Amino acid sequence: METGSQDEKTPRPTMREAIKALNEFISLKGEQMKILKREKEIEKKNQLVAAFVEAMRSNGASDRSIQKALPGLYEFAKFSISKRRSGNQAPDKSENPQPAPDSAEEMLSFFLSEVETQEVHWLWEKRVPLGKITLLDGDPGMGKSLLAINLAACISTGRPMPDGTPAKQGGVILVAPEDGAADTLRPRLEAAGGDPSHVLLMNIIEDLDAKKVKVSDRPFSLSHDLEKLEGAIKRTKAVLVILDPLTAILGHNIDASRDQDVREVFTPLAQMAERTNCAILIIRHLSKGASVNALYRGAGSIGIIAAARLGLLVAQDPYDENRRVLATTKNNLSLKAANLSYKVVGNASGIPYIQWLGENNYTLPTLLDGETSMSLERQKILQALKDAAGPLSPQQVAELTGQKYTSAKLTLNRMLKAGEIARSHRGMYTTLDHPSLLHKRTGNNTGTTATADTTDTLVTSDTTDTTDTSVKIVPLHANHR
């Protein structure tokens, strides 16, 4: 029997895909050239100012007089550089020439017509964008760090992401001062199938203490070491930086609850992410507040989530203590991705790792409510639906739970309206994430997971998130006593 060659089995990129990749490469190189040009201009200005200062000192000028003269020297340096630049450019002879900025001002402002539009590039489609900050929130014990390690494993090897979308292979920089490298980080990365040779741990920074005149090691600080982090990104060609957790790496002089302090760190961090086209994933704990709006539940200032372009949440599955849920709380770049279920399991050596279980339809209020106060009758019904091989009728539910038929039918209808269960078709009920329901979803091009009677209202929108207009089969969750 003939077998095809490896080249025949591997799908070749189409001409459109090749042109798109080439345009992205040219666009990236263009941005890098702009950054280099800007850095050279600043270097020239510094050289001019330093030369002026040296000339003044050699002629006996005092430090005080030099300080007074510096603003004028700086203005002259800007004028000299802009004059030199304008002398090398041809005059604009177009019919509608754009007004030239003042030569005495820094050339940092520009018209939007000069900006080349481009698509959002993703490290993980609709969840982790390249060149942006992503925030991952959750309570302790939910597996936030394990989830981040799982992503690092995918990136370090180039294998698909947890939802099956393609991964971008590259370097990963990990700043995780609360976990041991030998007994926690490397074993977990290897348990997740990652390549440790592509993951750089950056917990400690060598620094010179000017007061003590002493070189020593100190913990990484986001407020002081952005330049070192950017250098490491370029050196290792990293596409993902994981900061775990935020409170441990902000810096001792930064108050996470003060908006001004937060923005002093996050604004340059966002600029660095854009310059390097690297995804920044920051892990943060939830506060103990009672708000059902996930944007207000993260610890620290609201400026933290404001600086992130995308927010993720890990939470306990409301109806299964062994499961966790990854949901999206904020997405400024695209439509929200579907929730994903997972659980933490251990390998033969007892090292924990993430096992992904597919999609679910829980709303954010449901996830943030935590434990539910369901009646015993509802708990029995939910357990029966979980254990069943497929959807059940009210009669079958009544027999399995020992309840009266009329009572079971009424309870099923109430649970359906509360978003606690789903209906696969008329008269048959199942759990929200039952395999039979998920299989039906993947086999239906319309994306409809259940058909509903016109007499029942099954869908309401999540009022805590006005940006998500997609239809959900799960309405706002309410506690039932």
Least confidently predicted of 107-121, 131-145, 410-424:
107-121
Nearest-5° angle of CA 237, CA 241, CA 245? 160
Does 208 or 185 have the greater pLDDT score? Answer: 185
CA distance 304 to 167: 27
pLDDT tens digits for range 46-79: 887 788 888 888 888 888 888 888 788 777 777 7
pLDDT tens digits for range 268-279: 999 999 999 999
State yes or no: pLDDT of 240 exceeds 70. Answer: yes
Token pair listed for 123: 């490290």
Instruction: Determine the pLDDT at residue 3.
Output: 46
pLDDT tens digits for range 382-407: 888 888 888 999 999 999 999 999 88
| Contact (CB, 8 A) for 245 and 283 | yes
Place of tokens 């091009």: 445
Token pair listed for 110: 């520009």
Least confidently predicted of 18-22, 240-244, 295-299:
18-22
Burial of 49 (0-12, 13-18, 19+ CB in 10 A): middle
Burial of 269 (0-12, 13-18, 19+ CB in 10 A): buried
| Contact (CB, 8 A) for 314 and 150 | no
Instruction: Determine the pLDDT at residue 172.
Output: 97
Instruction: Determine the pLDDT at residue 300.
Output: 78
Beta strands in 365-433 (DSSP E): 422-425, 428-430
Instruction: Determine the pLDDT at residue 151.
Output: 97
DSSP string, 75-86: HHHHHHHHHHHH
pLDDT tens digits for range 294-317: 777 777 788 888 889 999 999 998
Mean pLDDT of the residues in the chain: 79
Instruction: Determine the pLDDT at residue 470.
Output: 37
Say what the alpha-carbon torsion angle 438, 444, 448, 451 is, to the nearest 10 degrees: -90
State yes or no: pLDDT of 475 exceeds 70. Answer: no
